[in-house]
Amino acid sequence: MTTATQAPATAAEMTGAEVILKALADQGVEVVFGYPGGAVLPIYDAMFKSNYVRHILVRHEQAAVHAAEGYARSTGKVGVVLVTSGPGATNAVTGLTDALMDSVPIVCLTGQVPTHLIGNDAFQEADTTGITRPCTKHNYLVKDADTLARTIHEAFHVAKAGRPGPVVVDLPKDIQLAKAPYVGPEAIEHRTYRPKRTPDAAAIEKAVELISKAKRPLFYCGGGVVNSGPRASELLTEFVRMTGYPVTLTLMGLGTVPASEPLFLGMVGMHGTYESNMAMHDCDLMINVGARFDDRVTGKLAAFAPNSKKIHVDIDPSSINKNVRVDLPIVGDAGEVLAALIAQWKKKKAKVDGAALAKWWDQIEKWQARDCLRYKASKTIIKPQYALQRLHALTKNLDPYITTEVGQHQMWAAQFLKFERPMHWMTSGGLGTMGYGLPAAIGAQIAHPDRLCIDVAGEASILMNIQEMSTAVQYRLPVKVFILNNQWMGMVRQWQELIHGGRYSESYTEALPDFVKLADAFGGVGFRAAKPSEVDDVIKEMIKVKRPVIVDCCVDQKENCFPMIPSGAAHNEMLLGPEDQAQKPTSEEGMVLV
Amino acid sequence: MADKIETHTLSVLVDNEPGVLARVIGLFSGRGYNIESLVVAEVDASRHLSRITLVTSGTPMVIEQIKAQLDRLVPVHTVRDLTTEGAHVAREMALIKVVGTGDKRVESLRIADIFRARAVDSTIESFVFEMTGSPEKIDAFVNLMRPLGLVDVSRTGVVAISRGAKGI
């Protein structure tokens, strides 16, 4: 791949633009998501003359980053983005922030005005490194062609090492045109940035002791296990089964333990299951692997798991003791820590407290018996939960890659689609970016061309990046957009109903496009389901068509997403359904929380 | 107890590269931490290393966060908490301008002598004193100068180093 026919004969003759492409190729990059513009024309010209990487032309730079995220999260590789200066870079900011919050490895190359014009308010100039400093893991401005190759390689190292994240490399146009020396990635060792991956042996010993003595234990695991690679998920499942302890997962961690695993209690947090949240509240030992005590998970901090000891495994030391004080921090890679825990457990021939565990499971089964995800079925109107149950039933054998937008549909998808494997579920967890799902599905589809990739969407979110239908059509990507259309910004409406006295301020969309015709206009295929009896047929048709599809699934407009921990409440104060919500007004403290 | 506000002096060794100070300051403003003083200068030209001395305050949990957040910045080599890691020496320099004549002028010179402040500029009606010491000592001197015609103070902020044989 690195010896493309049109490549320059010797390294000495290379331009900056050629160095950039060769560096990408040597990093194993196969795909770049991007959008051309004045300040990156030399790179696009070099791309035209070589075949180092495949370029996917998106329709908006924000979507380029989300597509790279979908690619990265479904493959474990670094996602690569190429955009121009000024508006190209500022449009990418939402995607970069999203990748930072969800720890997705991204290298984003941005064009910049030539070095002598920097700071002169030149055409399409923006202070890209200044703007992206708080929304990247690290960023670079290359002002010297001699450092160009090294900087690109370093960017890849920083993006994927430790807790992954987005890295921006800002590339002035004159640097792209200058003669630049090439060095390969093997020559690069970073001076300072070498995150710790291997845990302390003493901490592992102590952890095994705590784990074996626990009476009401709970594993609470998240995206860190996904980021560690598929092996970490296998190890987690193995360790959970060795102990027989219950396990709950965060939104980001779904799939790390198979949903069909009997020890799995479902998702935790604001819209997690009753049994997960009650177990979280009542446990005496919490074993957190790769989750960060996010506010969506902890609810009211003062009442969070009040009687528990906490073990926290995280590769990022700054995640430890940030929101919740823990008793035993273990800094390291989730996979390495789990392997060490299993080895130590076997070495010590550790045993669990069987009697206490049986009692704990008795309690958990009582919580499970509440059947917290139940909803009122209807023969006349499509319940969103029903649509997703059917989607799951009809696609599970195809092991689909699922992305979502943000809102009620996202939470229902997390509740009703069951994930057996990691890296098949991509959702904007930290930033909550409406418009994430379609480009992310495109990225996943590029990585897995023969697999089913579905964006579970809402009719409001999808309009934020609907233009990417055009990208899907151009590259013949058979992505499926499954819209749960209730004509409302559903989660906004739900909060207005619960917290703001039912004053539905600006959350109803008076004018919506005809999504079936819209699909057609883009060159895709549209289907509509308006009655429960039509749902199965539409899903089957959607799977059958090997082109981009939009399904307009017209669902109950007033359905709310339950169970729910109202903001400012504790885990044992969940609302299980509409009958609960009337009785429990939200506290003033809760009102100010998002 | 966990909510007690403490003041800590941190020494941070960083690559002397563009934007590194902005990263540190952005971290503090973005996460709502306090900066009481911040001093930065290159200390090793051959390795392009700068040393930042930071005085910050917060609960023990916040201080721990600040150190972890600083340590994870890519150009940061070392973060040391001088307040918790044994004894250290902390010094600040100040330039203090006092304007006055007659008794007040004489009195300011007398006090400056007690504080070992040096007059580095002098006119018929003014002095600029230079003094080095702990921040408390400089505070005390500045307060004494106030009724004697204090018009201007310029302070460097604290630089600090651990006592004993060990380096950063």
Say how far apart CA A372 and CA B66 lie, in whole Å.
40
Distances (CA, A) of B102 to A124, B123, B167: 63, 13, 49
- Beta-sheet strands, E only, within A332-413: 401-404
Q: Is residue B38 part of a domain?
A: yes
Q: Is residue B166 part of a domain?
A: no
Residues A473, A401, single domain; the answer is yes
Q: Determine, for residues B30 and A158 on separate chains, whether the beta-carbon distance falls below 8 Å.
A: no
Spatial neighbors of A53 by CB under 8 A, at least 6 apart, are A21, A24, A25, A29, A30, A31, A32, A47, A80
Q: Determine, for residues A133 and B18 on separate chains, whether the beta-carbon distance falls below 8 Å.
A: no
Residues B72, B106, single domain; the answer is no
Residues B60, B110, single domain; the answer is no
Residues B128, B151, single domain; the answer is yes
Residues A21, A161, single domain; the answer is yes
* A136: nearest Cα among A163, A97, A164, A102: A97
Residues B31, B77, single domain; the answer is yes
Residues A169, A256, single domain; the answer is no
Q: Determine, for residues A192 and B77 on separate chains, whether the beta-carbon distance falls below 8 Å.
A: yes
Q: Is residue A408 pLDDT above 70, yes or no?
A: yes
Instruction: State how far residue A133 is from chain B, nearest Cα, in angstroms.
Output: 7
Residues B26, B76, single domain; the answer is yes
B97 touches chain A (CB under 8 A): no
Q: Is residue A562 part of a domain?
A: no
Domain containing residue B100: CATH number? 3.30.70.1150
Residues A360, A407, single domain; the answer is no
What is the predicted pLDDT for the residue at A591? 77
Which residues in A lie closer than 8 A to residue B64 (C-beta atoms)?
321
Q: Is residue A577 part of a domain?
A: no
Mean per-residue pLDDT over chain A, rounded: 95
Q: Is residue A193 pLDDT above 90, yes or no?
A: no
The domain total for chain B is 2
DSSP code, position A403 = E
| Residue A186: other Cβ atoms inside 10 A | 8
By C-alpha distance, the chain B residue nearest A324 is B61
Q: Is residue B150 part of a domain?
A: yes
By C-alpha distance, the chain B residue nearest A157 is B74
By C-alpha distance, the chain B residue nearest A158 is B74
Residues A208, A231, single domain; the answer is yes
Residues A20, A163, single domain; the answer is yes
Q: Determine, for residues B64 and A321 on separate chains, whether the beta-carbon distance falls below 8 Å.
A: yes
Q: Concatenated DSSP letters for A227-285?
A: HT-HHHHHHHHHHHHHHT--EEE-GGGTTSS-TT-TTEEEE-STTS-HHHHHHHHH-SE
Tell me what percent of the residues of chain A surpass a pLDDT of 90: 92
Confidence category of residue A364, pLDDT binned at 50, 70, 90: very high
The three-class DSSP label of residue A328 is strand
Residues A318, A413, single domain; the answer is no
Residues A482-532 have pLDDT tens digits of 999 999 999 999 999 998 999 999 999 999 999 999 999 999 999 999 999
Tokens standing for residue A418: 């069951």
Q: Is residue B167 part of a domain?
A: no
Confidence category of residue A272, pLDDT binned at 50, 70, 90: very high
Residue ranges making up the domain that contains A180: 11-187
The DSSP H or E segment spanning A544 is helix A532-544
Q: Is residue A9 pLDDT above 50, yes or no?
A: no
Active-site residues of A, by number, are: 61, 123-124, 173, 491
Q: Determine, for residues B61 and A321 on separate chains, whether the beta-carbon distance falls below 8 Å.
A: yes
Which residues in B lie closer than 8 A to residue A133 (C-beta atoms)?
19, 22-23, 26
Residues A487-501 have pLDDT tens digits of 999 999 999 999 899
Within chain B, how many helices (H) and strands (E) appear? 4, 9
Residues A178, A321, single domain; the answer is no
Match 């590259």 to its residue by tokens.
Answer: A475
Say how far apart CA B26 and CA A216 lie, in whole Å.
42
By C-alpha distance, the chain B residue nearest A127 is B19
Say how far apart CA A456 and CA B4 lie, in whole Å.
47
Instruction: State how far residue B86 is from chain A, nearest Cα, in angstroms.
Output: 23
Instruction: Using the 3D structure, point to which of B28, B59, B81 is the last residue of a domain.
Output: B81
What is the predicted pLDDT for the residue at A592? 82
Distances (CA, A) of B115 to B109, B124, B142, B143, B150: 10, 22, 11, 12, 16
B61 touches chain A (CB under 8 A): yes
Phi/psi region, residue A538 (left: phi>0; alpha: psi -120 to 50; beta: rest), is alpha
What average pLDDT does the segment A583-590 reach? 73
Confidence category of residue A138, pLDDT binned at 50, 70, 90: very high
Q: Is residue A588 part of a domain?
A: no
Distances (CA, A) of A574 to A271, A344, A457, B91: 9, 38, 26, 55
Q: Determine, for residues A192 and B76 on separate chains, whether the beta-carbon distance falls below 8 Å.
A: yes
Looking from the CA of A500 toward its CB, the CA atoms found within 13 Å total: 13
Q: Is residue B1 part of a domain?
A: no
What is the predicted pLDDT for the residue at A417? 98
The phi, psi pair for B73, rounded to 5°, reads: -65, 135
Q: What angle do CA A100, A102, A104 make, to 5 degrees?
A: 70
Residues B10, B62, single domain; the answer is yes
Q: Determine, for residues A193 and B74 on separate chains, whether the beta-carbon distance falls below 8 Å.
A: yes
ipTM confidence = 0.91
Residues B55, B75, single domain; the answer is yes
Q: Is residue A394 pLDDT above 50, yes or no?
A: yes
Q: Higher-confidence residue: A5 or A367?
A: A367
- From B15, B22, B72, residue closest to A133, measured CB to CB: B22
Residues A146, A266, single domain; the answer is no
Which residues in A lie closer than 8 A to residue B18 (C-beta atoms)?
141
The residue of B20, B49, B72, B76 whose CB has the most chain A CBs within 10 angstroms, and thus the best one to mutate to test that interface, is B72
Residues B95-118 have pLDDT tens digits of 999 999 999 999 999 999 999 999
B81 touches chain A (CB under 8 A): no
Confidence category of residue A583, pLDDT binned at 50, 70, 90: low
Confidence category of residue A10, pLDDT binned at 50, 70, 90: low
Say how far apart CA A276 and CA A298 lie, in whole Å.
12
Residues B96, B122, single domain; the answer is yes
What average pLDDT does the segment A283-296 reach? 97
Which residues in A lie closer than 8 A to residue B73 (C-beta atoms)?
138
Residues A150, A286, single domain; the answer is no
Q: Is residue A281 pLDDT above 80, yes or no?
A: yes
Phi/psi region, residue A119 (left: phi>0; alpha: psi -120 to 50; beta: rest), is left
Q: Is residue A546 part of a domain?
A: yes
Q: Determine, for residues A191 and B15 on separate chains, whether the beta-carbon distance falls below 8 Å.
A: yes
Residues A231-242 have pLDDT tens digits of 999 999 999 999
Residues A167, A236, single domain; the answer is no
**Sequence-ordered alpha helix ranges (H) in B5-155:** 20-31, 60-71, 103-114, 135-145
| Residue B114: other Cβ atoms inside 10 A | 9
The domain total for chain A is 3
Q: Is residue B168 part of a domain?
A: no
Say how far apart CA A141 and CA B18 lie, in whole Å.
9
Confidence category of residue A589, pLDDT binned at 50, 70, 90: confident
For A492-519, letters b (16+ CB in 10 Å) and e give: bbbbbbbbeeeeeeebeeeeeeebeebb
What average pLDDT does the segment A542-571 reach? 95
Q: Determine, for residues A318 and B72 on separate chains, whether the beta-carbon distance falls below 8 Å.
A: yes
Instruction: Using the 3D structure, point to which of B53, B81, B109 is the last residue of a domain.
Output: B81
Q: Is residue A587 part of a domain?
A: no
Say how far apart CA A106 and CA A165 lie, in whole Å.
6
Domain containing residue B44: CATH number? 3.30.70.260
By C-alpha distance, the chain A residue nearest B29 is A134
Q: Is residue A590 part of a domain?
A: no
Residues B99, B150, single domain; the answer is yes
What average pLDDT does the segment A83-94 reach? 98
Distances (CA, A) of B106 to A449, A466, B55: 87, 78, 35
What is the predicted pLDDT for the residue at A424? 98
Residues B102, B66, single domain; the answer is no
Residue ranges making up the domain that contains B102: 89-160
Say how far apart CA A457 and CA A435 lie, in whole Å.
9
Confidence category of residue A194, pLDDT binned at 50, 70, 90: confident
